[in-house]
């Protein structure tokens, strides 16, 4: 009997085991579904002109896929590492590894490839600009908050001809390329922008003001007695709030609202004798003491002959009225250039054109001290940081002339007209297409 019970128990265990082993409830493996890439579209680049150190944002559709990596291709063949990748945006750092000049970018996911989008990369340091061809570039303005370059150039290539025109170089995928500045026909005398929107353009007897980058503008015309054709109107001072247009004869146009309201100040009466002008104002500038100054020379040829040149120094708190005569007595130095440079009226700099030296006056033109020999021109960035042209080189001092460093080597026989500055940029303007931009 016990043997029968044992056999029965064994049969039950084996049956249970067989029953469990044949259970169909075992979980089957899940086969993943691969999501193939959809067509990739680059809809926008945040900028098609970038400087090394900046980021390029690529905006578009289907820029990422969960099953395949996003590959950013430069110039079709160079994979680069992105800073950020989402389905609608890729952030690409612009490093030294990316070549200077025009580049293309494409996005590839598996075998799906986007169309190309082009952008231009400019390096830090000095860059040669070619947007104005071989024209003589007289002045240029640059700004920290934009890539624009505004220049004033001469399109008359004859040695003794002149046809002044304003121009804008705009950052594009091909570099800094020339775009039009709207204006009426004719030759102009001076042009200055204080930012991308606010600026002044002058001709012989008119000043044109704009707060829209010259998309719109308004003009003020003056009589020939105020502005003799021989000299025209110059821009003595301009900032975001005010501008003062001047003449070589000591008259001014002042506006604090981009030309909507203009105050006109006639030249001082003593600067003329009948129809003959005795004074020639060569420099109009605001000093670090907050006051404005007119500097120049005076001579009454009919009364005194041709060798009685004297200095003219005038001072005003406003720059357009209440001029105080500081000096019309001290004798002018005929060896020096009357294009005086200063940021502080107590340290005026210019060039002794006879001896080719940089000279300074600390007593408002009365006496001059030699700072440096073999100098063609001087340009001031701050009261202590100056740039000079010597031979075909530009040198800089940051300690008022105590020491000098080489800044830029120029082509042979270069002629520099102006060096101007923002906080982070320097631009050199000169004859026959001499145009250099430094990004600091």
Helix, strand, coil shares of the chain as percentages rounded to 5?
A: 5, 45, 50
Question: From residue 302, how far is each of 185, 198, 249, 273, 329 by CA, in Å?
Answer: 39, 44, 18, 9, 17
Average pLDDT over residues 47-59: 97
pLDDT range class, residue 269, cuts 50, 70, 90? confident
| Tokens coding 152 | 């004033």
Strand partners, 439: 125, 425
- Say yes or no to pLDDT of 30 above 60: yes
CB 422 within 8 A of CB 439: no
DSSP element (H, E) containing 312:
strand 310-316
User: Of 209, 235, 206, 236, whose CA–CA distance to 223 is shortest?
Assistant: 206
Average pLDDT over residues 314-329: 95
Question: Which residues, in sequence order, are CB contacts of 321 under 8 Å at separation 6+?
Answer: 263, 265
Strand order of the β-sheet with 243-246 is 234-238, 243-246, 252-255, 263-265
Cα 376–chain centre separation: 24
What residue has token string 């060569």?
282
Question: Which residues, in sequence order, are CB contacts of 322 under 8 Å at separation 6+?
Answer: 316
The pLDDT value recorded for residue 144 is 96
Burial of 63 (0-12, 13-18, 19+ CB in 10 A): buried
The pLDDT value recorded for residue 327 is 95
| Tokens coding 375 | 């100098």
Strand partners, 399: none
- Say yes or no to pLDDT of 215 above 70: yes
pTM for this predicted structure: 0.88
- pLDDT tens-digit map of 338-351: 999 999 999 999 99
- Say yes or no to pLDDT of 302 above 80: no
- pLDDT tens-digit map of 141-200: 999 999 999 999 999 988 888 999 999 999 999 999 999 899 888 899 999 999 999 999
CB 247 within 8 A of CB 227: yes
The pLDDT value recorded for residue 231 is 59
Percent residues over pLDDT 90 in the chain:
77
Q: Give the CB-side neighbour count of residue 58, counting CA atoms within 13 A.
A: 33
Task: Work out the angle at residue 95's Cα, subtended by the Cα atoms of residues 93 and 96, and round it to the nearest 5 degrees.
Answer: 170
Any idea of the CA torsion for 121, 125, 126, 128, to the nearest 10 degrees? Answer: 0
Strand order of the β-sheet with 199-202 is 190-193, 199-202, 206-210, 218-221
Length of the chain: 440
Cα 153–chain centre separation: 16
The pLDDT value recorded for residue 19 is 46
The pLDDT value recorded for residue 13 is 43
Q: Is the dihedral of CA 23, 24, 25, 27 positive or negative?
A: positive
- Say yes or no to pLDDT of 139 above 50: yes
The pLDDT value recorded for residue 222 is 80
- Higher pLDDT: 118 or 267? It is 118
Give the whole-angstrom CA distance, residue 30 versus residue 74: 39
CB 439 within 8 A of CB 125: yes
- Say yes or no to pLDDT of 25 above 90: no
Helices (H) and strands (E) in the chain, counts: 2, 39
- Say yes or no to pLDDT of 24 above 90: no
CB 378 within 8 A of CB 348: no
- Higher pLDDT: 203 or 116? It is 116
| Tokens coding 258 | 């981009």
- Say yes or no to pLDDT of 262 above 70: yes
pLDDT range class, residue 7, cuts 50, 70, 90? very low
- Say yes or no to pLDDT of 22 above 60: no
- Say yes or no to pLDDT of 17 above 70: no
């Amino acid at each position: 009997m016990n043997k029968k019970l044992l056999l029965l128990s064994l049969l039950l265990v084996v049956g249970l085991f067989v029953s469990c082993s044949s259970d169909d409830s075992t979980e089957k493996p899940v086969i993943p579904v691969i999501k193939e890439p959809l067509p990739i579209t680059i809809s926008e680049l945040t900028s098609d002109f970038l400087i090394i150190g900046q980021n390029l944002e690529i905006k578009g559709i289907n820029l990422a896929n969960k099953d395949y990596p996003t590959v950013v291709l430069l110039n079709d063949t160079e994979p680069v590492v992105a800073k950020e990748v989402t389905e609608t945006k890729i952030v690409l750092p612009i490093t030294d590894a990316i070549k200077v000049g025009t580049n293309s970018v494409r996005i590839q996911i598996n075998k799906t490839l986007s169309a190309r989008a082009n952008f231009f990369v400019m390096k830090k340091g000095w860059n040669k600009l070619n947007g104005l061809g071989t024209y003589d570039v007289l002045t240029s303005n640059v700004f920290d908050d934009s890539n624009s370059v505004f220049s004033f150039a001469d399109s008359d290539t004859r040695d003794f001809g002149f046809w002044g025109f304003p121009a804008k170089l705009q950052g594009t995928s091909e570099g800094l390329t020339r775009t039009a500045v709207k204006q009426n026909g004719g030759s102009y005398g001076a042009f200055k922008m204080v930012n991308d929107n606010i600026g002044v353009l002058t001709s012989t007897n008119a000043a044109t003001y704009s707060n829209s980058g010259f998309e719109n503008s308004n003009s003020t015309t003056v009589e020939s007695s105020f502005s003799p054709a021989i000299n025209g109107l110059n821009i003595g001072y301009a900032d975001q709030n005010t501008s003062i247009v001047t003449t070589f004869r000591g008259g001014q146009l002042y506006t604090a609202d981009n030309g909507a309201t203009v105050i006109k100040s006639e030249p001082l009466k003593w600067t003329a004798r009948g129809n003959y002008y005795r004074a020639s104002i060569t420099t109009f500038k605001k000093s670090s003491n907050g006051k404005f100054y007119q500097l120049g020379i005076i001579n009454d040829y009919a009364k005194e002959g041709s060798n009685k040149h004297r200095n003219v120094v005038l001072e005003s708190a406003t720059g357009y009225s209440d001029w105080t005569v500081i000096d019309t007595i001290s004798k002018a130095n005929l060896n020096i250039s009357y294009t005086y440079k200063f940021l502080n009226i107590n340290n005026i700099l210019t060039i002794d054109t006879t001896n080719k030296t940089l000279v300074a006056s600390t007593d408002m033109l009365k006496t001059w001290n030699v700072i440096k020999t073999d100098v063609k021109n001087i340009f001031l960035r701050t009261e202590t940081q100056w740039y000079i042209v010597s031979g075909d080189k530009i040198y800089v001092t940051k300690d008022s002339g105590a020491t000098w460093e080489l800044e830029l080597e120029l082509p042979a026989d270069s002629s520099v007209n102006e060096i101007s500055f923002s906080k982070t940029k320097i631009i050199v303007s000169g004859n026959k297409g001499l145009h250099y931009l430094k990004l600091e």
